[in-house]
Structure 1
Amino acid sequence: MAINPADAAAAYRAHATPVPGPSAPSKGDAPAGGSFLDLVKSGVKDAVDSNRAAERLSIDAIAGRADLTEVVTALSHAEATLNTVVRVRDRMISAYQQILRMPI
């Protein structure tokens, strides 16, 4: 069974509620560390920015304006970032599937 990551994120967003307790933030306050959604958005934004920087350096290298070492370093960083994003996505989907299999 394939699960669309966007559907998983939408389901999380629809059912996300703060945990009640003495230190729970009020409805108007953001959690001190940010929300899980903010963390995911930040990670995706970093991955996109890394890939754009690598593409920009590659174009500059083709035009003769960039050093080959810089291009290889940027591409390696972009590849590592993409691999990390893919692994996190796979873990999120796996966790979501495990939650779906839990008996109610």
Structure 2
Amino acid sequence: MADTSALAATQAYSKAINNTLGAKPSGGANEAAEAVGGPSFAEMLASAGTEAIETGVNSEQISLEAITGDAGLADIVTAVSNAEATLETVVAVRDRVIQAYQDIIKMPI
């Protein structure tokens, strides 16, 4: 089962920002300030979604190559690991967004 803690969601979000900006993970507290000049949240989300879909398609392609015998075991394991990590990241972000939405709904007006 995927870890849906706040820490896991924060790490997933940080990883998505770093991947989008092409930066190396630094773990610094000023990452948000550095990202101000970067893409908008919508652009970053669209980019992350596109990358997740591409990872899934690549994994399926490697699976098809494995069936025909054209892919090696290392390629298969790498593709499955990448697809699993991507899915866990997407689920962690989704769960955190749902939790944030529920917290907002509970706020008094």
Pick the TM interval, shorter chain: 0.5 to 0.7
The reply to whether residue 78 of structure 1 matches residue 102 of structure 2 is no
- 3-state SS of paired residue (2:92): helix
* Mapping of residues 4-15 of structure 1, within 5 Å: none
- 1:57 aligned residue (32, 41, 62): 62
Distance 2:38 2:95 in 1: 23
By how many angstroms is 1:99 displaced? 1.0
Distance 2:54 2:97 in 1: 22
The aligned residue for residue 14 of structure 1 is none
The aligned residue for residue 5 of structure 1 is none
- 2:95 aligned residue (90, 94, 104): 90
Which one has more relative contact order, counting CA pairs under 8 Å at least 6 apart?
Answer: 2
TM-score normalised by length of structure 1: 0.66
The aligned residue for residue 25 of structure 1 is none
By how many angstroms is 1:103 displaced? 1.2
Deviations 1:8-58 (A, max 9, x none): xxxxxxxxxxxxxxxxxxxxxxx7322211121111111111111011011
Letter in 2 for 1:96: Y
Percent of pairs identical after alignment? 49
The reply to whether residue 43 of structure 1 matches residue 41 of structure 2 is no
Distance 1:100 1:69 in 2: 47
Q: Which residues of structure 1 form unaligned runs of 5+?
A: 1-30
The aligned residue for residue 13 of structure 1 is none
Q: Which residues of structure 2 form unaligned runs of 5+?
A: 1-35
- The count of corresponding residues between Structure 1 and Structure 2 is 74
TM-score normalised by length of structure 2: 0.63
